[in-house]
Amino acid sequence: MGIKENLSKIRMIIKETAIKASRNPEDIKLEAVSKFHTEEEIIEAIDNSQVLFGENRVQEANQKFTDIYKQFPNTNLHIIGSLQRNKVKDAVKIASCIESVDRLELMDEIEKQCTKLNKTISVLFELHTGEESKSGFENFDKLFEAVSLCAEGKYPHLIPNGFMTMAPLSSDEQNVRLSFITLRESANRIKKEFPELPLKELSMGMSNDFKLAIKEGSTIVRIGTAIFGPRDYSK
Ligand SMILES: *Cc1c(COP(=O)(O)O)cnc(C)c1O
């Protein structure tokens, strides 16, 4: 199947799953994860009404999306991969949101680079909830501290828009579900403390587990393989 068919199938599954979970399908955004895929493939998705994309490597994203923005200025890109400090400058130029904020040092650098550009940027705080992945704030307290500092006004160029996690690559559904529940409950506890902050997004769910994520409250599903097919890491 092609990108067009895959997109319409995924959109249908999102809708059906949302309705089954008594949720409004409009509350769930589909983010097409285009890492390792070409500009042509991304444009095919755009031609089929896809607006939101995710990339995990800044340099690759920069190469592809600088060009794409010229042709399709409404395109929206999120950075989803663990981010080194020296990549932040380029990341804040090309992305509308950094989903993989996982340490204060990174927040300091995003603030610094955004100040230079006189730009505000959305961020999601990533929580480590799975065993295999190493990314994300280690625990609830560290996550809480990061959001508190935003609430205190230390990061005026960051818009704290919500939370992100990657579930373990487990075939055990219970483990995956637990990871999503952990993110949702952590988010709810933090939102209660800081009702003045937006904190509205829960970015969770990938090709293999997005239905489960929607049942557990996801508002952004990040889907690569099920849209673009397998990635060729040799490229
Ligand atoms: C690659 C990636 C995805 C998409 O994974 P698929 O299994 O291809 O859907 C989602 N989130 C993050 C953070 C990723 O790095």
- For ligand 1, atom 7, the nearest C-alpha belongs to 207
223 lines ligand 1 (CB under 6 A): yes
- The C-alpha atoms of residue 190 and residue 124 are separated, in whole angstroms, by 13
- The C-alpha atoms of residue 74 and residue 88 are separated, in whole angstroms, by 22
Q: What is the mean pLDDT of residues 70-97?
A: 97
225 lines ligand 1 (CB under 6 A): yes
110 lines ligand 1 (CB under 6 A): no
Give 170's pLDDT tier (boundaries 50, 70, 90).
Answer: confident
Amino acid at 82: S
CA 206 – ligand 1 centroid, Å: 6
Element at 20 (helix H, strand E): helix 3-20
Q: pLDDT tens, 90-149?
A: 999 999 999 999 999 999 999 999 999 999 999 999 999 987 667 899 999 999 999 999
The answer to pTM > 0.85 is yes
Neighbours of 11 (CB within 10 A): 16
Q: Which residue has the tokens 């939102």?
A: 191
Q: Are 130 and 172 in contact (CB under 8 A)?
A: no
- The C-alpha atoms of residue 9 and residue 159 are separated, in whole angstroms, by 32
CA 119 to chain centre: 20
Residue 75 has pLDDT above 90, yes or no: yes
